[in-house]
Chain A
Amino acid sequence: MYKVRGWTKKNIVVLVGIIMLLVGCGAKEVPATSDEVQTSTTQKAKSVEEIYEEIKQTVALASPVLMDDEFIANYYGIDSATLEEYVFSMSEDAAQAETVIVMKAKEEADLGALSSSLQVVVDEKRNEMENYLPEQFAIVEKSEVQTKGNYVWLVISEQADAIVEIIEKNTAD
């Protein structure tokens, strides 16, 4: 057997392993700097456009049409000037109730008015579909307007759970 000053090779390997273990256990976790923590939180929040892209890539929406400032003002009285960003998507097919609306308000104080406007959308769809398209009515009945931080959203869809999950994980408090 090969020996170094009385130590066998096997003994040397074991000794090195022990030393490495001791070093590993003794290492202290270096706390992240405040910048790194902030970056981590920021990376979690995507833009509304990015959130909608992820939704489209995850679920198959029913022929969605994106509505613009004029539309949301004329039909729902929503002032786009109060919004930092938004997506207002409805199915082009009038026989489909599917709607995906995500809005980020500039001011938290505007959330109440925006929520009321989105509730109008729910009520409109509910009235239209009841006694007319029962399957679509059932989908509308399960929907609700939700808020988180400066965000408000409404999802009317058979795949509402999956869509809402995407919105919730990508919006900051």
Chain B
Amino acid sequence: MIKKRMAVVALLTALMVSNSAGTYVYAAESQPTKEQKAQVQTEETKEDNTSEDNVPQITEEELAQYYGNSVFVGDSIMLGFRNYCTKKEDSFVHEIQFLAAGSYSAFNAAKPVTDKNVHPLYKGKKYQVWEAVRLMGVERVFILLGMNDISILGLEGARDQYKEVIDKILEVNPDVEIHIMSTTYTLKNAGKGKLNNENIAKYNELLKKMAEENGWGYMDVATPISDGKGNLKSNYCSDEYVHLNSSAYDIWETVLRNYAIEQKKVEEEPEVEVTTQTETEKNTEEQGNVQSKGLD
């Protein structure tokens, strides 16, 4: 009987000890240290994109200002982005202005304004893009064209027409920055005639080179929404062909954010200093020359 009681006591004691040990472990895991709390609080209060060094890279205000002084020019792909940005009232993209029209192209942009010709509207009227840019008074022009040019003009022809449009924009607005946006892909095997993904990829290379040669910006908005094999990813496509959905434009929003950060870094890079001799250095050198002459 006593043995039985002792066994029961031992068992109960063992249970109590094991539970308390487990509790001790869980308590350690569930109770963050003061340092951890401070770190989380710091991270939660940060609103900026920060680098690994915790140095703010760009603020939301700077993003709104950067893109608020910009106009995005383009075709129906850009039109879709315009509609997306319109509903994003709390985002910097809401500040972007647009000159976009369905079926717009560099080919169309060069045509005169008539009732029939496609030109983007500004305050209810059609303008050639360089004139509309002038009226808007923006600092930066982002351009997405090509989808509707490749079939008509071929790759080099489309590139050349594109350059003509940009040259005209700069002629009328010499102080604006030009930023070229890559043409986006079609859904896999959905291309038509010359408008296929192989040609789009080649065309983008031509555009990138043109941008580099002329000191213009180049923003790749095609690769982030591709399937990694040079096609538009299916879950970013709205029509089984070429147009984009909200999810794709969510990606674009991130691309724009990162692009602005990169542009800001370029602007903030210190200029390479051309070293000039100070008077002291010059005198020291001259003294050295005199001494060496004396030795000779």
A interface list, Cβ under 8 A from B: 65-68, 71, 73-78, 90-95, 117, 120, 123-124, 127-129, 131-133
Please name the residue on chain B nearest to A117 by beta carbon.
B124
Q: A75-B122, A76-B121 are in contact. List 13 more A-B contacts (CB 8 A).
A: A74-B123, A91-B83, A92-B80, A92-B87, A94-B76, A94-B79, A95-B239, A95-B243, A117-B124, A124-B101, A128-B76, A129-B103, A132-B102
Contact yes or no, B246 A92, CB < 8 A: yes
Distance of B149 from chain A, by nearest CB (Å)? 14
A129 vs B116: C-alpha distance in the bound complex, in angstroms?
12
With a cutoff of 8 Å between Cβ atoms, the chain A residues found around residue B246 in the complex are 92
CB pair B123 A94 closer than 8 Å: no
Question: In the complex, what distance in Å separates the CA atom of A9 from the CA atom of B115?
Answer: 88
Instruction: Give the Cβ gap from A140 to chain B, nearest Cβ, in Å.
Output: 11
> Known interface pairs A73-B123, A75-B122, A124-B101. Does A94 touch B116 (Cβ–Cβ under 8 Å)?
no
Asked if B86 is at the interface of the complex by the 8 Å CB criterion, the answer is: yes
A91 CA to B86 CA in the complex, in Å? Answer: 12
A89 to chain B, nearest CB (A): 11
A131:B76 contact, CB within 8 angstroms: no
B203-247: contact bitstring with A at CB < 8 Å (1 yes, 0 no)? Answer: 000000000000000000000000000000000001100010110
A94 near B77: Cβ-Cβ < 8 Å: yes
B125: A residues at CB distance < 8 A: 77
Other-chain residue from A90, A120, A128 in contact with B124 (beta carbon distance below 8 A):
A120
Contact across chains for B87 and A65 when beta carbons are under 8 A apart: yes
- Report the bound CA distance from A150 to B46 in whole Å: 51
Contacting residues, chain A, for B245 (C-beta < 8 A): 93
Q: How many residues of B contact A (CB 8 A)?
A: 26
The smallest C-beta distance from A98 to any residue of chain B, in angstroms, reads 12
- CB contacts (< 8 Å) of B97 on chain A: these are 74
- How far is A75 from B86 in the complex, measured between Cα atoms in Å? 12
Kindly report which residue of chain A lies nearest to residue B76, judged by CB atoms: A94
Q: Which of B104-151 contact A (CB under 8 A)?
A: 115-118, 121-125
With A128-B103, A129-B102 already in contact, the answer to whether A75 and B124 are too (CB < 8 A) is yes
- Please name the residue on chain A nearest to B87 by beta carbon: A65
Report the Cα distance A73→B103, complex, angstroms: 23
List the A side residues contacting B239 at CB < 8 Å: 93, 95
> What are 8 A-to-B residue pairs whose CB atoms are below 8 Å?
A66-B87, A74-B97, A75-B122, A75-B123, A76-B121, A95-B243, A128-B101, A132-B103
Contact of B121 among A66, A92, A124, A131 (CB under 8 A): A124
Does B84 count as interface, using CB distance less than 8 angstroms?
yes
In the complex, are the beta carbons of A67 and B86 less than 8 A apart? yes
Contact indicator A95/B103 (Cβ below 8 Å): no
Given contacts A77-B123, A93-B243, A128-B118, contact A68 B86 (CB under 8 A): yes
Contacts of A120 in B (CB 8 A): 121, 124
User: CB-CB < 8 A to A131: which residues of B?
Assistant: 103
A65 to B84, CA, bound (A): 8
